[in-house]
Structure 1
Amino acid sequence: MEKKKVAFIVAIPGTADAFLKEHFVYLLKEYEVHLIANYEGSEDLKKEFEKMGVICHQAPIVRKINLKSDLKALFVVKKIFKLGKFECVHSVTPKAGFLTALAGKLAGVPNRVHIFTGQVWATRRGGVRMMLKMMDKMIAMLDTRLLVDGEGQRQFLIKEGVLSEKNSVVPANGSIAGIKLEKFVISKEVRKEERQKFGIKDDEVVYIFLGRLNHDKGVGEIFEAFNRLVMECPKARLLFYGTDEEGYDQKVKNYPNIKRGENYFYPGLTRTPFKSLQAGDVFILPTWREGFGMSVLESQALGLPVITSDAYGVVDASVEGVTGLRCKVNDPNSLYCVMKQYYENADIRKIHGLAGRKRVEEKFNNAVVSKAWLTIYKEMLEKA
């Protein structure tokens, strides 16, 4: 008996590598899995997916809105759908979601699935917000199954009129992928090695950030809060990992108490968060908007207490007063207060860190999330 055919659509294959790979392992046992993406410059990833048994298709999807490019991508994706005769197509990220919803409807694909993982428009205003929000509404209108990677985000989308209670669901306990605990193993040796890279001593308190360095992630508030904190807490350190999208690393010079190479370190991207995060004592993400906050889960898996904002979405990733503390969105003073609270209370840091690890083990093991996805597919496709 031939396996039913399922296609996943992303703008760049790195998205699938980060969030879908473990799901593919489960789905490949039951279905023929395809991955449609723009593989230009990512040939190695394509080979990795093909080695797994995933069938890859090239599509000229670009992340930024460009009418000419987007129309071309729409026709290519529609053609792939037509020729592939898929039982289901499943999109991730807004651009891929919009193209998939349109192409899937035009090609007559019976099951069209999208997972919402955050809204760019949440912090925008005016016409841009209206247009981006309308794209999400179109996805919700055209697709047949709508998933959300967190309950806080789902309620936000319901409140904004994008989704309804009846047409959306959060798989398992939330998060798009969960955490592969075999990788995220707490190690004193790794902690020592990672801190030695920067000359950080064991009694120094490292606030670590992992993500895109931009306005929406609250990086400006981190600098303001840390600039004040380090005057009173001389053993505080700040370590950033991620892509600097808005030149924040150069803005450090505007904060007199933040000293590059002394109490502030920015090595750039990391491909091994399960090691890099272990240099930290407290993970920090005062984001303005978030789908769920995978980096928050990763940090808790390594026993770190976490500081997050009270923005929708990210509130699902931790439990205030149990696995972490919260600050208010766009409030450097609020952030400073919780940073200082952790600096002065090593015992609370340890208690919250251990509670975070336990919560990830119980609720966000990647196997739990993958099995939930498989259950959704079986329920959906057995009717086909």
Structure 2
Amino acid sequence: MKKIVFVVSTPYTAKAFLENHFEKLSQFYEIHLVANLNEKELSNYSHPKLASVQHIQIERKITIVNDVKALWKTTKYFKKNQFDLVICFTPKAGLIGITASWLAGIKNRIHFFTGQVWHTKKGLFKVFLKLLDKIVVAFSTKIIVDGKPQQDYLIANKIITQHNSITLGKGTISGIDVTKFSPKLDIRLQQREGLGYLEADFVFLFLGRLNKDKGILDLVKAFGKLQDKYNDVKLLLVGPDEEEIESKVKELGYSLDSIRFYGNTNEPETIFQVADVFCLPSHREAFGLSIIEGSACGLPIICSDTYGLNDSIVNEVTGIRHITHDSESIFKAMETLYSNEDKRTSFGKNGRIYVLENFSKEAITSLWVTYFQSILNK
């Protein structure tokens, strides 16, 4: 069997996005994984369909000495195994994995773009980060992008071209399990009771990494204004607090009586059931996976108009777009959905239909298998 190796900087990427691909692709190919298994999230990651899991310390932050070591070890590993295809995810794993595969003489080298760190940066650092992306593209034989809007953005910024890049379907790395992510009234009642919410409470949910780039402080500011008008609204923030956001919210003087910091969860499909509206006010995003998960659970969406979210939502059909960085625009969208039950119901139903038609994991993985076969079965 021909051999494919996936390269990620953290095993969490494999756990969250790649397992269904491992399952299906292993029917045709020998599948291997390179990951930094020192990562705290999944220190001993394995999967029954993987032929091997190789630890290489690929760190997400720029650390010159460690990065050179990782490049040398990855190149050595690739030369030893001579894979038929290498596919890399995230900026650092892409830079090291693609460069190593080029040095090792691997014929098929694919990088998967899932977002641009440089989108919100300025000055020379932004120029430097864009240059790194251009190096990855130069050493790749093909680029996959997890959404057409992001592909267009990268083309406009002269990172990729229409010729050397592709989007599979309407995007996402993996699609979602539309049975797992679906409306479940019994779980909603159970979870709301467990969190101390009344059925009459109106809950806005954010799920993701808590940091400034996700627009969390914009969302909190908008919610604070909403709370001044309506006393039954709640804001539930779910995910790892990467930048001491909770402390910053307290410093800004917002009451935490109606703003709950939940922490991380391994069951997003459960926490979605608690909410009445899902919010993603991100300043930059490659593709809104959490949006399609929320839509699959029948939730109306509020999200920013940043380029990467264009295909995750159909504006005024599955949710409302707001102006990026604009808390007043977020407030207006929150108030609109709070006060209009018919619109909430319509958006929720339309959203689930949209996900079923475009983002099921079976459909996305089928596109992957077909694409890989077109490369490897020549």
Give the TM-score band, short-chain normalised. over 0.9
SS state at 2:31 partner: strand
Q: Deviations over 1:53-111 (max 9, x none)?
A: 34111111111100100000001100110111100000000000001121011100000
CA distance in 1, matches of 2:319, 2:238: 20
Correspondence for 1:276 among 271, 274, 287: 271
Aligned to 1:82: 79
Alignment identity in percent? Answer: 38
Which residue identity is paired with 2:19? K
Shift in Å, 1:251 = 2.2
Map residues 1-384 of structure 1 onto 2, 5 A cutoff: 3-40=1-38, 46=44, 48-49=46-47, 51-256=48-253, 258-260=254-256, 262-383=257-378
Pair 1:53–1:96, CA change in 2 (3 A): closer
Contact 2:12-2:41 within 8 A present in 1 as well? no
User: How much is the aligned-residue C-alpha RMSD, in angstroms?
Assistant: 1.3
Q: Deviations over 1:252-310 (max 9, x none)?
A: 22455x432x3111120010000011111100011111010111111011000110100
CA distance in 2, matches of 1:196, 1:83: 56
Which residue identity is paired with 2:26? L
CA distance in 2, matches of 1:223, 1:44: 31
CA distance in 1, matches of 2:25, 2:175: 16
Which residue identity is paired with 1:290? E
Pair 1:196–1:317, CA change in 2 (3 A): same
Contact 1:308-1:315 within 8 A present in 2 as well? no
Q: Deviations over 1:176-212 (max 9, x none)?
A: 1101123213211111111112211112211000011
How does the TM-score come out when normalised to structure 1? 0.96
Contact 1:14-1:45 within 8 A present in 2 as well? no
Which residue identity is paired with 2:217? G
SS state at 1:166 partner: coil
Contact 2:37-2:45 within 8 A present in 1 as well? no
Contact 1:224-1:255 within 8 A present in 2 as well? no
CA distance in 1, matches of 2:91, 2:58: 12
Aligned residues: 378
Contact 1:17-1:45 within 8 A present in 2 as well? no
Which residue identity is paired with 1:259? S
Q: Deviations over 1:31-70 (max 9, x none)?
A: 0000001112569664531x23341111111111001000
Contact 2:202-2:233 within 8 A present in 1 as well? yes
Q: Which stretch of the first structure deviates more once superposed, 51-60 or 3-12?
A: 51-60
CA distance in 2, matches of 1:66, 1:54: 30
CA distance in 2, matches of 1:320, 1:346: 17
Pair 1:130–1:108, CA change in 2 (3 A): same
CA distance in 2, matches of 1:90, 1:222: 36
Pair 1:43–1:19, CA change in 2 (3 A): closer
Runs of 4+ in 1 over 4 A off after TM superposition: 41-47
Contact 2:112-2:144 within 8 A present in 1 as well? yes
CA distance in 2, matches of 1:367, 1:132: 34
